[in-house]
Amino acid sequence: MVPRSRGNTTKSGNALDAGEKSQENLDEYDMSDIIVTIYALGEAQKEIFTTVKELKNSILKPSEKASVKDCTPREKCS
């Protein structure tokens, strides 16, 4: 996929020129490139969702934290 140019506006501020530049940038993309990119973003989103879910499940809830502390008390050594 060809990256889009960042200079899609003109220094003169002419809206027509800016619109033409924008259209030229859109013409650089194929529909198949756009579809592949959208699919890849969807797959990445699924992976992020799964990772966040696993992280949430690995964090102890307050009630679980209390029971873990009761089982393994720490004593101060003097």
pLDDT of 28 reads 78
**pLDDT average, residue stretch 57-74:** 70
Q: Which residues lie below 8 Å from residue 22, measured CB to CB, with a gap of 6+? A: 8
Q: Where residue 65 falls among pLDDT bands split at 50, 70, 90?
A: low
pLDDT in tens, 8-51: 444 555 666 766 766 666 667 889 999 999 999 999 999 999 99
pTM: predicted TM-score of the whole model, two decimal places? 0.44
pLDDT in tens, 68-77: 655 555 666 5
- How crowded is residue 8: how many other Cβ atoms within 10 Å of its Cβ? 15
Cα separations in angstroms, 70 against 1, 21, 45, 64, 65: 58, 67, 39, 10, 9
SS3 31: helix
